[in-house]
Homo-oligomer: A and B are copies of this chain.
C-alpha cells in the first residue's frame, strides 16, 4: 500500500473542495447573511489542510493503482470530503453539535438527503447552498465510482460493466477514470442545466432552482424548503422533478449513448427495461392502494403515488405527500423500494436493479437445478453468460447488505429508537434515500435520533454509498497485511 500517494490524492481532493467553497461564499455575500464568516474560516482550514497533505506526501509517482489502493482512495477521499464539508455547518453554529454538522455533510456527499434540520428555512442562504452543492459533487463522485472505479475493483458484481466503459486504455485505472469522468460529467452537467431552466420556467427563483437541481441529479433530496417539493404544490414542478429523478436513476452511460444519437439504448439495456417496468407497476399498485383511502380523485392518487415511488426508488427522497399516512401496503412497497434502489451506473443508491435481476435469475436457476441436477446452466444478461465469480459477488453483496441492515437496525433500536423508526432509518441511510418511516418519515427528520445513533447512521450512509465492500474491507485484518 503506497500511503504517501493515497494521502497525496486525498490532499488534492481536499484542496479542490476548499476552492469550491467560494461558491457558497458568493451566495452568502449576495444575500449578506451570517454564514460569510464561517464559510471563510472553512475555506482557510480546508485549503490549508489540502496543501499541507499534498506537499507532505508529494513525490511518489504511481502509474498503476492496486485494487487495495483504489479502495483506500475511495473511502478516505469520501471521508475527508465529508469531514471538511461539515466545517461551514459546524463553525457557524447553525447546525448545533459537531455530529449534526457531520451528519448533514455525510448525508450530502453520499447523496442521501437525510437531515437533522428542524427548520430548514431558518438556515442562512450560504449554508443551504453549500448543503445542496455537496450533493451535486457527491453525484459527480458516484458517477465515476460506479462506472469507472467499481467495475475495475470488482466490487459487488460491478465487474459486469467492465467491458462497457468507454475508455481507450481499459486496463489502467487512472486514464480510465479521467476519460470516463469527463464524458459522463458532461452529460450530468447538461441534464443539470436543463433542469435549472425547466424549474425556473415553472416559477422557481434561480437560487431554489439551482439548489433543487443540485439535489435532484445526484438523487440526493435535500430541499431548501421545510415541506420539500410539496412546498410549491405545482403539478408542473412535480412533473419536472419527476422527470429528472427518473433520468438520474438511469445508467448515465445510456444517456451518453442517447446523446450520441442512439435513443434505443434505453430499450436495449435489460436493466433499464426492468427498472422502468418495475416503476410503472409499483406506481400503479400504489395509486390504486391510496385511491379512495387517502385521495378521493384518481388523478391526485396518481400524482402523489408516481412522485413518491419515483422519489424513493431512485433514492432521491423528496416528498410531495406524507406517505406515513398511506395504507400499510403502500408503505411496505416504499420500504422495499428503499432496498431495490435505481439502476447501476446511475447516481441512485440501494441494491440496484442489475443485482435484483441477477437475484431473480439466481433463484430461478436453483429451481431449475432441482429438476435437472446435472445440467450446467449459466445466468445470462443481454445474451451473455455472467461468470460465476460475478454471481458470487452479487449474492455476497446482497447478503452483506441485508446482514448489515439487520445488525444496524438492532443496534439503533438498542439506543432507544422505536421499532419502525429503527429499521426504516437504517434502510433509508444504507440505501441513501433520505427520509424513512415512523419518526424519520417525510414530514419529520433525524434530529431526535440519539447521538450514537447518528454516528451509526453516518456509517450506514458511507457504507451504502461506497457499495459496502469498499468500506467494510477496511475492517478485515487481511487488508492491512503486507
Contacts and interface: CB of A to CB of B under 8 A. Distances in A.
A416 to B, nearest CB: 8
Given A328-B417, A395-B395, 6 more contacts: A67-B370, A327-B416, A363-B403, A369-B389, A370-B473, A398-B399
A400 B366 contact: yes
Contacts of A370: 67, 71, 153-155, 469, 473
Contacts of A400: 363, 366
Contact of A371 (B68, B328, B414): B68
A240 interface: no
A419 interface: yes
Nearest to A331: B419
A26 interface: no
Nearest to A67: B370
A396 B373 CA distance: 14
Given A336-B406, A399-B359, A367 B413 contact: no
Nearest to A482: B371
A371 B478 CA distance: 8
A473 B153 CA distance: 37
Nearest to A400: B363
29 contacts: A67-B371, A67-B373, A68-B371, A71-B370, A153-B370, A154-B370, A285-B414, A327-B416, A328-B417, A328-B418, A329-B422, A331-B419, A332-B423, A359-B399, A360-B403, A362-B395, A365-B392, A365-B396, A366-B392, A366-B393, A366-B399, A366-B400, A367-B472, A367-B476, A370-B469, A370-B473, A371-B476, A371-B479, A398-B399
A328 B413 contact: yes
Given A402-B402, A419-B420, A366 B332 contact: no
Interface string A28-43: 0000000000000000
A410 B333 contact: yes
Nearest to A156: B366
A395 B333 CA distance: 24
A50 to B, nearest CB: 29
Contacts of A327: 413, 416
Nearest to A373: B154
Nearest to A356: B403
A226 interface: no
Contacts of A420: 419-420
Nearest to A479: B371
Contacts of A360: 403
A10 B420 CA distance: 45
